[in-house]
Structure 1
Amino acid sequence: MIRQRVIVHGRVQAVGFRFSARVEAQRLGVSGWIKNRSDGAVEAEIEGEAAAVDAMLSWLDEGPPGADVTSMSTADLAPTGERGFRVMS
């Protein structure tokens, strides 16, 4: 199990990014959360098997239709054992 913190920049708010990310996370079987930041970016923590986390990171780097991701940064975190994927406000 691995966990990553992700910050996604670009046109990522008001395009259904968080809710689409939740659907993708559930499809891939990863846990964590995603939220909008006050600076216009989206922040998430993703936990799961390495291949599933990598697939989720690839999805976040593109986003849903209507999003325009300009950059993304990641940082390794210690896994927490969190279950489920939440959209936070």
Structure 2
Amino acid sequence: MADTQRFNISGRVQGVGFRAATQDKARELGLAGWVRNLPDGRVEARATGTADALEALRLWFEHGGPSIARVDRVDTTTVEARDEPPHPFTVR
């Protein structure tokens, strides 16, 4: 059974290719979902997949994502997957 998690990533994560890199990493991990910029400068991602793949994505976020980015904080929330996110993983 697939799990769904929401990630809110704070730091220097806008204007540095973070969403595109997240899409590439999520697809590599076989995750469905999306990533988008938030008005407050954070990036939000919602991903559905195996627990191992979600953990790998979280660790990738915590280690800074793409090399030019700087991640200060990653908040992770498990959410109900009532409306499955689109597959493949997309940038919004």
TM-score (ref. length: structure 2): 0.90
Q: Distance in 1 between matches of 2:56 and 2:39?
A: 26
What is the match of residue 66 of structure 1?
68
- Alignment coverage as a number of residue pairs: 88
Identity in percent:
38
Write out per-residue CA displacement over residues 42-88 of structure 1, whole angstroms, 9 at most, x where no aligned residue. 00101101001110111122210110100110111112443210100
Q: Distance in 2 between matches of 1:52 and 1:5?
A: 13
What is the match of residue 12 of structure 2?
11
SS in 2 for 1:65: coil
Larger relative strand fraction: 1
Q: Which amino acid aligns with 1:70?
A: D
What is the match of residue 77 of structure 1?
79
**Structure 2: any 5+ residue segments left out of the alignment?**
none
Moved over 4 A (4+): none
Q: Which amino acid aligns with 2:90?
A: R
C-alpha RMSD of matched pairs (Å): 1.0
State the shift of 1:26 in Å. Answer: 0.8
**Structure 1: any 5+ residue segments left out of the alignment?**
none
Q: Which amino acid aligns with 1:25?
A: A
